[in-house]
């Protein structure tokens, strides 16, 4: 764990990320360290989504925000069964390859699929373009791992904005990720990368980790390893009591023009920073994060309870949980208390072949945008090197 790592190891972590510096700024740029390209998947799938008994009027923002407030208690909106949602969706991503030299060959067959949390998009994994320290692609590529960060449906540059309550729920994201993994593993014509991979590492942040948990439950053979960051089995939902939301199209009409009112954002910077950042971080990063925030849908939040309670079921492969000691949503300082929360999270994955956790110190929820990010990247890739051997 980071809080008692020998300092020699910390130095190695720093050096690796410094070496990847040139890759940080433009996630699509070719560089000596990462070679990235924009990709787009066309995915046809079906998911079993939750139906709500008393949905808000989709044109009434007041009702939408009241509905969302009730969802944040996790049980405030009664469900009325499920419904099948089918569709064909365009999912954009950025795919980055390791540098051509200096990488061990055995890693050449491993792809990390990076899935962002709420109010972020795939840019999270390139550190919002704020520097090498925060660039997951560059850190992973420098260790020989390929990376694919996707925009979940309705987020980032994805052109479609489906109905936000019934359609855009975690369950549908899980099935979309499943189809993408199938296409890559089998290298079918729906694979937007120019090659297949036989080893897939699922890497999630926050809601992206909860999607990973459910993926492990519904499709236990999809991920060879699951790395769940900004996550535990015990979300502290009261943290959201003090966070207001607003429809994205109302808050930033130019940027979010045409998006349904059920696509919402956190409009108050101090609240967002208080929930997502803690300990050692650059205030300029938290500010840039606020200015560039993406959306969350009211369906993603409302159906969360179903994903949390479904657990990680029959997933039998290695699991690594990575959560900041000061994560206001998924852990509680001091380190000993956070450690007990992350240790208890193992119960979600009773059959996992390996279960370990890492707790970066002085680190809040959006851990890859904190000063500890290079150590986090090092810890994750040391784990992957070990379990994928
Ligand atoms: C629940 O769903 C059933 C079947 O679709 C419908 O008949 C009923 O009116 C719904 N109840 C509520 C409270 O929405
Ligand atoms: C929106 O919903 C609120 C709360 O139900 C209601 O008071 C208000 O009249 C509605 N506004 C419109 C324009 O229908
Ligand atoms: C995706 O995130 C980046 C960085 O946070 C931001 O600049 C961009 O505007 C976001 N995209 C959308 C469509 O909101
Ligand atoms: C891909 O391969 C898996 C087995 O590895 C198989 O179960 C699945 O049906 C295949 N999917 C496609 C779309 O070919
Ligand atoms: C909400 O904010 C109030 C006032 O700032 C504070 O006393 C309280 O602890 C906060 N609650 C949570 C759950 O963060």
Q: Report how far apart, in Å, the C-alpha atoms of 361 and of each of 85, 171, 325, 333, 339 are.
A: 41, 32, 5, 9, 11
d(CA 372, CA 51) in angstroms, rounded, equals: 40
Token pair belonging to 326: 């000061």
| Residue 32: CA count within 13 A, CB half-sphere | 6
SS3 content of the chain, % helix, strand, coil (to 5): 40, 20, 40
pLDDT of residue 22: 32
pLDDT of residue 100: 77
> What confidence category does residue 18 fall into, taking pLDDT thresholds of 50, 70 and 90?
very low
> What confidence category does residue 33 fall into, taking pLDDT thresholds of 50, 70 and 90?
low
d(CA 138, CA 34) in angstroms, rounded, equals: 6
Q: Report how far apart, in Å, the C-alpha atoms of 287 and of each of 86, 122, 156, 272, 330 are.
A: 38, 18, 19, 10, 22
Pair 301, 243: CB distance under 8 Å:
no
> What confidence category does residue 308 fall into, taking pLDDT thresholds of 50, 70 and 90?
confident
> For a substitution probing ligand 5, which of 242, 270, 276 has the most ligand atoms within 8 Å of its CB?
242
Whose CA is closest to atom 10 on ligand 5? 242
Pair 64, 264: CB distance under 8 Å:
yes
> What confidence category does residue 241 fall into, taking pLDDT thresholds of 50, 70 and 90?
confident
Of the listed ranges 26-30, 59-63, 126-130, 283-287, the least confidently predicted one is 26-30
Separation of 117 CA from ligand 3 center, angstroms? Answer: 13
Q: Bin 135: left if φ > 0, else alpha if -120 < ψ < 50, else beta.
A: beta
Query: Could you give the residue ranges of the DSSP H alpha helices within 29-143?
Result: 61-71, 136-142
| Residue 97: CA count within 13 A, CB half-sphere | 17
> What confidence category does residue 111 fall into, taking pLDDT thresholds of 50, 70 and 90?
very high
> For a substitution probing ligand 2, which of 60, 64, 262 has the most ligand atoms within 8 Å of its CB?
60
Q: Which ligand is nearest to the CA of 261?
A: 2
The strand order across the sheet containing 355-358 reads: 35-52, 79-97, 146-150, 110-115, 199-205, 225-229, 319-322, 355-358
pTM for this one? 0.90
Whose CA is closest to atom 1 on ligand 1? 80
Residue 247 DSSP SS3: strand
pLDDT tens digits, 166-192: 999 999 999 999 999 999 999 998 999
Whose CA is closest to atom 5 on ligand 5? 242
pLDDT tens digits, 357-381: 999 999 999 999 999 999 999 999 9
Whether 198 is in the pocket of ligand 4, judged by its Cβ within 6 Å, is no
> What confidence category does residue 27 fall into, taking pLDDT thresholds of 50, 70 and 90?
very low
Tell me phi and psi for residue 266, to 5 degrees.
Answer: -95, 110
pLDDT tens digits, 192-201: 998 999 999 9
């Amino acid at each position: 764990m980071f809080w008692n790592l020998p300092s020699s190891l910390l130095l190695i972590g720093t050096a690796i990320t410094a070496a990847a510096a040139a890759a940080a700024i433009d996630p699509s740029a070719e560089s000596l360290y990462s070679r990235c390209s924009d990709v787009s998947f066309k995915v046809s799938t079906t998911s079993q989504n939750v139906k709500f008994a008393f949905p808000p009027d989709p044109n009434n923002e007041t009702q939408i925000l009241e509905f969302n407030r009730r969802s944040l208690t996790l049980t405030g909106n009664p469900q009325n069964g499920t419904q099948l949602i089918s569709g064909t969706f365009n999912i954009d991503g950025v795919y980055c390859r390791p540098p051509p030299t200096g990488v061990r060959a055995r890693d050449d067959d491993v792809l990390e699929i990076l899935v962002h949390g709420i109010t972020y998009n795939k840019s999270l994994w390139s550190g919002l373009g704020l520097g090498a320290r925060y660039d997951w692609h560059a850190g992973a590529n420098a260790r020989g791992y390929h990376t694919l960060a996707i925009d979940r449906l309705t987020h980032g540059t994805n052109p479609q904005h489906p109905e936000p309550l019934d359609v855009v729920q975690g369950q549908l994201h899980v099935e979309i990720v499943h189809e993408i993994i199938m296409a890559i593993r089998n290298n079918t014509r729906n694979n937007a990368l120019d090659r297949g991979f036989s080893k897939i590492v699922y890497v999630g942040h926050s809601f992206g980790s909860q999607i990973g948990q459910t993926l492990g439950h519904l499709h236990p053979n999809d991920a060879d390893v699951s790395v769940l960051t900004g996550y535990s089995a015990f979300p502290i939902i009261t943290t959201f009591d003090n966070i207001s939301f607003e429809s994205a199209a109302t808050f930033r009409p130019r940027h979010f023009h045409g998006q349904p009112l059920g696509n919402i954002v956190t409009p108050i910077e101090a609240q967002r920073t208080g929930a997502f950042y803690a300990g050692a971080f650059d205030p300029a990063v938290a500010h840039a994060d606020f200015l560039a925030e993406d959306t969350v849908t009211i369906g993603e939040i409302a159906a969360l309870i179903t994903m949390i309670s479904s657990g990680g079921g029959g997933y039998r492969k290695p699991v690594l949980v990575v959560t900041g000691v000061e994560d206001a949503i998924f852990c509680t300082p001091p380190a000993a208390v956070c450690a007990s929360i992350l240790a208890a999270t193992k119960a979600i994955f009773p059959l996992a072949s390996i279960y370990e956790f890492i707790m970066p110190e002085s680190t809040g929820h959006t851990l890859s945008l904190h000063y500890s990010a290079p150590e986090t990247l090092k810890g994750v890739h040391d784990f992957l090197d070990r379990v994928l051997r």
